[in-house]
């Protein structure tokens, strides 16, 4: 696991907006200081996919996004093939080793995604609203009860909140109870890209 995940439990994420922009790109900041920590982009977007991104078929297109630190070192990679109904997104670590996946399941009125380990066992449940940009991770505690361990939202009370004022900003908070080096943090960080690219496109 990349050391930046051990050092931080919160990130402010800003989507890069541009006219005629086919690729999805995001900047990850320290939410208190505004320091740039990481950047994510689709590095090898094919011509056919680029064309479809400007049509009504954009929600079905594949993506392969790499998140890198400020020095250009890979942190994680998130990949999905062509999707027609329920998305499945694969997650790879800094060495391009598969560490897990996200599997979308039917659920109404809230989004429901299973977070899977490398053996496709469910390790977390990600739930989110269709209408409010609020996604939460739940794990089972020792009593067999669901416990929230992370949240993606548009709300933040950090000192640098004035920097992030547009609609395309998100905030990720991870519970310190997970521990600094818990590999689940890779999946939680990957979910920011997964949720935005899969669900925001469908509700736009």
CATH of the domain at 102: 2.40.160
In the numeric block, the tokens 């939202």 are attached to: 153
pTM: 0.81
State the Cα–Cα distance between residues 109 and 131, nearest whole angstrom: 9
State the Cα–Cα distance between residues 178 and 49, nearest whole angstrom: 37
Given a cut of 50, the residues of the chain with pLDDT beneath it are 202-204
- Cα–Cα distance list, 136 to 10, 110, 122, 172, 174 (Å): 14, 11, 15, 10, 10
Query: Residue 203's pLDDT is what?
Result: 44
Query: Residue 6's pLDDT is what?
Result: 92
State the Cα–Cα distance between residues 132 and 79, nearest whole angstrom: 25
Find residue 128's DSSP bridge partners. Answer: 111, 135
Query: Residue 53's pLDDT is what?
Result: 58
State the Cα–Cα distance between residues 61 and 40, nearest whole angstrom: 18
Domain that holds residue 103: 3-203
SS3 content of the chain, % helix, strand, coil (to 5): 20, 40, 40
Structurally, how many domains does the chain consist of? 1
Query: Residue 25's pLDDT is what?
Result: 83
Cα–Cα nearest to 23, from 37, 35, 39, 5 = 39
- Cα–Cα distance list, 109 to 29, 128, 130, 137, 142 (Å): 31, 9, 7, 17, 29
Query: Residue 182's pLDDT is what?
Result: 92
Find residue 63's DSSP bridge partners. Answer: 80
pLDDT digits (tens, 9 = 90+) for 130-170: 566 788 999 877 667 889 999 988 766 555 555 555 556 78
158 and 173 Cβ atoms separated by less than 8 Å: no
């Amino acid at each position: 696991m990349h050391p930046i995940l051990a050092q931080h439990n919160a990130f402010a994420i800003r989507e890069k907006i541009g006219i005629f922009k086919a690729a999805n790109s995001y900047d990850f900041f320290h939410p208190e200081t505004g320091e740039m920590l990481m950047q994510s982009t689709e590095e090898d977007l094919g011509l056919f996919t680029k064309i479809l991104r400007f049509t009504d078929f954009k929600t079905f297109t594949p993506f392969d996004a790499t998140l890198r630190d400020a020095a250009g070192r890979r942190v994680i990679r998130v990949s999905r093939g062509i999707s027609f109904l329920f998305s499945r997104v694969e997650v790879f670590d800094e060495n391009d080793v598969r560490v897990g996946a996200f599997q979308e399941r039917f659920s109404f009125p809230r989004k429901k995604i299973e977070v899977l380990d490398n053996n496709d066992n469910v390790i977390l449940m990600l739930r989110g609203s269709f209408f409010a940009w609020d996604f939460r991770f739940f794990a089972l505690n020792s009593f067999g009860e669901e416990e929230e361990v992370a949240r993606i939202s548009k709300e933040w009370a950090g000192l640098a909140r004035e920097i992030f004022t547009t609609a395309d900003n998100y905030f990720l908070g991870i519970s310190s109870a997970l521990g600094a080096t818990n590999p689940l943090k890779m999946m939680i960080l990957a979910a920011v890209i997964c949720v935005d690219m899969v669900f925001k496109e469908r509700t736009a």
